[in-house]
Amino acid sequence: MWVEKYRPKSVEDMVGNEDSRIGFLNWLKEWRMGSKPALLIGAPGTGKTTLVHLTANRLGLNIIELNASDVRTKERMERKLGPMLDSQGLFNERPLIFLDEVDGMYDRQDRGGVEFVEELMERSPAPIVMAANVEDDKKITKLIRKSRVFRFRRLPPRFMEIYIEDIIKKEKVRFGKEAIRILVKEAKGDMRAAINSAQSLAGLSAEELRSVISSRDQSYSLREGLESFFNAKSKEKAYEALRSCDATPRDKVRLAYTSIINGNLSNDELIEALEGLGDADEIIRRIERTQEWRILRYFDRVLAYSLFKALPKGRVSYNEDDMPWDLKLRMWNESRALRDASKSLSKFLHASSREIMSVFMSYLLFILSKDKESMERFVTLLGLEGSVLKVLMKEADRVVSRV
């Protein structure tokens, strides 16, 4: 297998994620008792496990590995790691504890495992390295806080291109530049997948490759799936991207929603998109109400078709923020000034500050927007700070633009 034959033999043989690789190597070189453990986060195929093995080899460390295929309950882990913890230094061996796929340790079958790891982090006489596939998982937030994090991104296509090109040259097979580029695009940053495809499809022309690849089923993370969905050129491609997403329908709707409200859309486009999203959401609610799971098969198609029609291409991209940042910043930075103004005004107008904000403020700002001097006098009269003037002027501009 090429993937074995061309597996990197040293840290220098790898490509991509240079800063994380160098950072991890230095972390391990400088590790002292009491140092934080390392947490490598990144999608499968980005080189986390390979890096740990190669770095340990380079520094002469003996790896004790517990991966997802092991049952990692507290008892099992104690049994495996206990002797090492007690006999540290006895045989002059320098161990390294490697816990692969720690994000999968939260299942029932690994009961007590996480608590054991957290305890181990405090008293380990050997460096602990953990690896996780997902970073947006709330489950590993605590580990992130307590660890030195190294993030591993999907490999940039150009790095993959030169790596595959090198293999093709060494294997002396016929493979054009265009064909290599098709393979690299299809692998989406997963070097293992690219090398496997290169071996199985070696010798095919670019045209033949295209037809083989288009017939393959692909699997996306939610982020990748929604990115492909928002950039899809046809309804069918949009549907395929959504269908191949490894996520629940509820998550698809939630993240499509946050992406849409953060997108660069006009009011009409936004309304149409949210209506489409509402149709898909209705399917989920109906399933929850009636437990008719067979309806689920229509979900991806409804979501894809209705949103594809409503969303102009390139104007929406993946976003997890529940509120657009310009709005958040207004709420954080400007709400205090507006509250102060309405509180002061309430004394003059004998109304509650809430009423001032919801009923009078817009009209008042509209009137004052015509003349900056009046606005300045207004702020002085209310006994407010100068910074409030700036916020009120900005708010007045918004009111005028809405009229």
Q: By the criterion CB under 8 A, which residues form the site for another protein?
A: 11-13, 15-20, 22-23, 25, 149-151, 153-154, 156-159, 161-163, 165-166, 181, 184-185, 188-189, 227, 231, 262, 318-321, 324-329, 332-333
What six digits make up the tokens of 164? 């595959």
User: Would you give the distance in Å from CA 392 to the centre of its chain?
Assistant: 37
Contacts of 325 (CB under 8 A, 6+ apart): 262
217 vs 326, beta carbon nearer another protein: 326
Report the residue count for the chain: 403
The residue among 184 and 338 lying less far from another protein, judged by its C-beta, is: 184
Residue 32 Cβ vs another protein, minimum distance, rounded to whole Å: 21
A 10 A CB-CB count for 126 gives: 20
Closest contact distance (angstroms) between CB of 224 and another protein is 8
Residues in Cβ contact with 82 at an 8 Å cutoff, skipping those fewer than 6 apart: none
Q: Which is nearer to another protein, 127 or 189 (CB)?
A: 189
Closer residue to another protein, CB minimum distance, 8 or 125: 8
Residue with Cβ nearer another protein (109 or 264): 264
CB of 183 to another protein, least distance (A): 12
DSSP 3-state assignment of 41?
strand
Paired tokens of 224: 């990748």
Q: Shortest distance, CB of residue 387 to another protein, whole angstroms?
A: 11
- Is the CB of 51 or the CB of 368 nearer to another protein? 51
CB of 374 to another protein, least distance (A): 27
**CA pair distance 68, 53, nearest whole angstrom:** 16
Give the DSSP H/E element, type plus range, for residue 77: helix 74-86
Gap between the Cα atoms of 369 and 166, Å rounded? 66
| Own/partner long-range contacts of 19-27 (Cβ < 8 Å, ≥24 apart) | 20/150, 20/151, 20/152, 21/47, 21/51, 23/150, 24/51, 24/55, 24/150, 25/55, 25/58, 27/148, 27/150
Nearer to another protein, 98 or 150 (CB): 150
Residue 316 beta carbon to another protein: minimum distance, rounded to whole angstroms: 12
User: CB 313 → another protein: shortest distance, Å?
Assistant: 11
